[in-house]
Amino acid sequence: MPSLIDFRRRIRSVRNTQQITKAMKMVSAAKLRRAQDRVIAARPYAALLRKVLANLAAAVGTDDRAASNPLLAQRPEQHILLLLFTSDKGLAGAFNANLIKAAQKFLEDHTGAEVELETIGRKGRDFFRKRGTRITAEHVGILGNPRFEDAAAIARKAIERFRAGEIDAVYVLNNEFKSVVAQQLAISRLLPVEVPAHAEIVDYIFEQPPNEMLEAILPRFVETEVYRSMLETAAAEHAARMMAMEAATSNATDMIDSLTLYMNRVRQASITKEIIEVVSGAAAAEE
C-alpha cells in the first residue's frame, strides 16, 4: 500500500498539472477571441466574392473565351493535390486525429489516382511523412498567425501547377469553426473552380469585358478560399484546445478529490492501527 508521502507527492503533481491546463485554457481562450473575430470578418468577403463570381459567369454566358479559362477546365482526375490543414501543436483533443483520418479516407477513396499531399501544419506532416506518403510541400508555423501573403503563395503555386497540367484537381481538407464546442470537418474542391449558381442575377455595368474580369477574379477567389481555410482552421484549433484543457482541468480536480479521500482513509487506518497497538500494549502491561 502506498504511504502517505506518496499520496501527497501525487496530489501535488496533479495539482501542478492542473495549473498548467488552466493556464493553457486561458491562453487558448484569448487567442480564440482574436481568431474568431478574423473568421467572422473574412466570411462576408468570401461570400460576396462568390456572388460576384456567379454574376460574372452569368454575364459571360456562352462566351467561348471564358469557357476556355484554364482554371475552369474539367479533366479526369488522374493527378490530385490535397491541401491538408492541421495544427502545429497537440493537446487539442481529437482535432488533428479527425483531420488525419479524413485524409486517409480520401487517399483510400482515390486509389485509382495519384494523390499528392501539401501539408499546412506540423501534425499532418509528421504523420504522413512517417508512413511514406508523397508530400510535395510543407508549411509549418504559419497557422499561428495566418497571413494572406502565405495563403496567396500556396494558392498561386497550385494554380501554376494546374495551368501547366501537372495536376488535374486540388482539394482542401480543414476544420471549419462553428462554435466553441463544435467544429465541422470540411473537404471541398478548389480547382477546377466550380462557378456557384446564383438565382438573383445583378445587372452590372462592366467597364471591362466580363470575360477579362472573370480571368482576373478567379485566381483571387482561389487565394481567398485558401486564406479562409487557414483562418477557419486556426479558430477551430484554439476552440478545440480550450475545450480539451477545460476537460483536463476538470479531470484533475476529480483525481485530486479521489486521491485526497483515499489518502484520508489510509491515514485514518494508520491512526486506528496505532491506537489499537497502544491499547493492546497497555493492556498487556497491566496483566
Tens place of pLDDT for every residue, the chain, 287 residues? 567 788 888 899 999 999 999 999 999 999 998 999 999 888 888 888 888 887 777 666 655 555 567 888 888 989 999 999 999 998 888 899 999 999 999 999 998 889 999 999 999 999 999 988 889 999 998 988 899 999 999 999 999 999 988 999 999 999 988 888 878 899 999 988 877 665 555 666 767 777 777 888 888 999 999 999 999 999 999 999 999 999 999 999 999 999 888 888 888 877 887 788 777 777 777 76
CA distances from 268 to 249, 258, 261 (A): 28, 15, 11
In angstroms, what CA-CA distances link 132 with 126, 174, 175, 211? Answer: 10, 21, 24, 43
One-letter amino acid of 246? E
Place of cell 480550450: 242
163 and 269 in one domain? no
Among candidates 126, 118, 124, which has minimal Cα distance to 102?
124
Q: Does 279 lie in the same domain as 159?
A: no
Query: Do both 263 and 230 map to the same domain?
Result: no
Q: Do 259 and 220 belong to one domain? A: no
User: By three-state DSSP, how is residue 170 classified?
Assistant: strand
Alpha carbons 221 and 204: distance in angstroms, whole number: 19
144 lies in the same domain as 262: no
Is the same domain home to 222 and 257?
no
Q: Are residues 143 and 254 in the same domain?
A: no
Same domain, 239 and 250: no
Question: Which of 244, 262, 278 represents a domain boundary (last residue)?
Answer: 244
Number of domains in the chain: 2
Domain hosting 72: range is 26-244
- 210/254 same-domain check: no
SS3 readout for 36-68 = HHHHHHHHHHHHHHHHHHHHHHHHHCCCHHHHC
Let me know whether 133 and 260 are in one domain: no
Q: Do 163 and 265 reside in the same domain of the chain? A: no
Residue in 145, 77, 83, 66 with CA at minimum distance from that of residue 112: 77
Q: Do 98 and 9 lie in a common domain? A: no
